[in-house]
Amino acid sequence: MKLSDYVADFIARQGITHVFVITGGASLHLIHSVADHPKLTHICPHHEQSAAMAADAYARTTGNLGAAITTSGPGATNLITGICSAYYDSVPVLYITGQVASFRNKGDTGVRQIGFQETEIVSMVESITNHAVQVTDPKRIRYELERAVYKSRIGRPGPVLVDIPDDIQRMEIDPAALEGFTPPQEKKNDLVKTPADWASQAADLIASAQRPVMILGWGVRLAKAEAAIKELNKKLNFPVLLTWAVADLLPAEDKNSLGTFGTHGTRFANFALQNADLVLSIGCRLDTKATGSPPETFARGAKKIMVEIDQTEIKKFDRLNVKIDVQVCMDAALAVPQLMTALAKHQTQRYAEWYTHIREWENKYPTVEPEYAQEKNINPYVLMEKMAQLLPDYTHIYSDTGCALAWAMQTMRFKPNQRFFHAFNNTPMGWALPAAIGGYYAAPDKPIICLAGDGGFMMNIQELATAAFNKIPVKIFIINNGGYAMIRQTQDQWLGGKYIASAPVGGLGMPDFSDVARAFGFSTVVQARTHTDIDAAMAEMLAASGPAFCEVFVDAAHKVLPQVKFGRPLEDSDPLLPRDEFNRCMLVDPLPASAAA
């Protein structure tokens, strides 16, 4: 059997159906073998970054492994942004790169290259993968592939990379004689000693809490613990705060859900968090977007229970001067049933007074202010609210970074079967369109939405050709606000409003996006400029049988508000409230700087 045929068959046996490939001299045999395999389909993006991102989104959507294949040199290095996206969000993806033939390898000669486009990709990606290896012996191909996939899924998941020289791809092997990989016994956690009675400790803290909140993060999805979490939600009756990665976890009608929180969260959700006396965090690493800066201001009046699979994420709080009262280094799918058992002896509380405070904040500080709808042109918060209402059930939304993402996360409340995807921790521009393509092949029966700002969309605009050529029924919504609005907001805050490299006045040029979409072969191209245009534009987009493109014009002055400025605690968002009003909202003592600001 040809070794590249073995690789293709191995990919198929992982349950993968679509492989995202960019051809090249060092990847030809691998890609031909994929194309010849009866259970695999190869999809051809126009940039290796897009291939990496499409495979990442494919894995997020299926809950299984994704796969991409590229050539050596620039083909391999172009994968890196997509690899980072998978790594920082703990997404299992198998990246395979071709390499120059082993007899052209520079080895220990000390030169930079011998083979054409020779690049040491393994050492480059070791810090952003769970595992990376070059196959130097054809008899080790089964072992190395099995070990890589094991590493991608065990513990905290993540991407892996297998680099295969061109001559080894072409060699004949005997599959029956190949050595397999035997997984080692799982190591015990050395840094975090999860107490045996942690669930009892947590249950006791829960029973005594008067103002609790529960934080849910992406680890809930990775652990496939959604059903268990929903049962816990019913049992606890806690107000629930969602990270952006699981903003779609609880439907809009769930009375406990407060939506998203953090530096770019809603004002009322942040008031709930910062006034809590107990925080139960499950599957969330509690990064600085969740805690604010400095971290010691985070929920400072609350006892803290943290369930997190990565022990280093828990231990980091020792250095950040934040006390985690109950440290639980455990997969959410294992931890939640244990906690439910410990809670059996406790009655569910109503927290009536606590919810009264929260509803007062929610009513006083809505994300979509009533006057927004009266604006002549499109207000982005009104747009996101309308999109959430008009998108059909089971819709999958793939979003870029920037203001469009923040507006959506502050505003959209999801229907029970809708999903929202983004590379939340690497958060690159250009992710949405290739991700939507990968998401389509992962779930072709779902309505697919691509949501992007004009700046981010430019990063992988070439994938319009991939969508058009393959007749992918993706509905693309571009928020055109004249460049990089999130950067302009930062420049307003810290750099005197000089829009260097973020707007046309600062040297950033943009095309006519509608004309570009038509040039790439889109027949449905729609524009929306006022609130009255939105309903008709949405209807035309959703009625289109193939790919469709909508350019939504938003004034460049619109910002993400509220937003917590660096150095302020989460409860004190810009625009700052009058101090008497702010102080009345605080049930715990406000920090002196905030109280008097």
Within-domain flag for 422: yes
Whether residue 117 contacts residue 134, with contact meaning beta carbons closer than 8 Å, is answered with: no
Whether 207 and 77 map to the same domain: the answer is no
Q: Which two tokens stand for residue 472?
A: 């992918």
State the average pLDDT for the chain: 96
Whole-angstrom distance between the N-terminal and C-terminal Cα of the chain?
73
Within 436-582, strands assigned E span 448-453, 474-480, 524-528, 548-553
pTM of the model: 0.96
- Reported as a pLDDT band with limits 50, 70 and 90, residue 347 is confident
Is there a single domain that holds both residue 410 and residue 465? yes
Q: What is the pLDDT of residue 192?
A: 63
Cβ contacts of 484 within 8 Å, gap of 6 or more: 402, 453, 455, 501, 502, 503, 508
Amino acid at site 81: T
The CATH number given to whatever domain includes residue 265 is 3.40.50.1220
Does residue 120 belong to any structural domain of this protein?
yes
Q: CA angle 266-271-275, nearest 5°? A: 155
Q: What's the confidence (pLDDT) of residue 193?
A: 72
Which of 397, 548, 396 lies closest to 471 in space, CA to CA?
548
Q: Are residues 391 and 473 in the same domain?
A: yes
Residues 230-253 pLDDT 10s: 999 999 999 999 999 999 999 999
Amino acid 88: pLDDT: 98
DSSP 421-446: E--TTT--TT-HHHHHHHHHHH-TTS
From CA 63, how far away is CA 66, in angstroms rounded? 9
pLDDT in tens, 145-195: 999 999 999 999 999 999 999 999 999 999 999 999 999 986 655 556 788
CA gyration radius, the chain: 25
Domain boundary pick from 364, 392, 415: 364
Q: pLDDT band for position 221 (50/70/90)?
A: very high
Is residue 158 domain-shared with residue 257, that is, in the same domain? no
Tell me what the mean pLDDT of segment 253-258 comes to.
96
Q: Can you give the residue range of the structural domain that contains 426?
A: 373-553
pLDDT tens per residue, range 415-456: 999 999 999 999 999 999 999 999 999 999 999 999 999 999
Where among 128, 143, 177 does a domain terminate? 177
Check whether residue 452 and residue 471 sit in a common domain: yes
User: Do residues 237 and 293 share a domain?
Assistant: yes
Total domains in the chain come to: 3
Produce one character per residue of 12-43: b if its CB has 16 or more CB atoms within 10 Å, e if not: bebebbbbbbbbbebbbbbbbbbeebeebebb
Residue 439 lies in a domain: yes
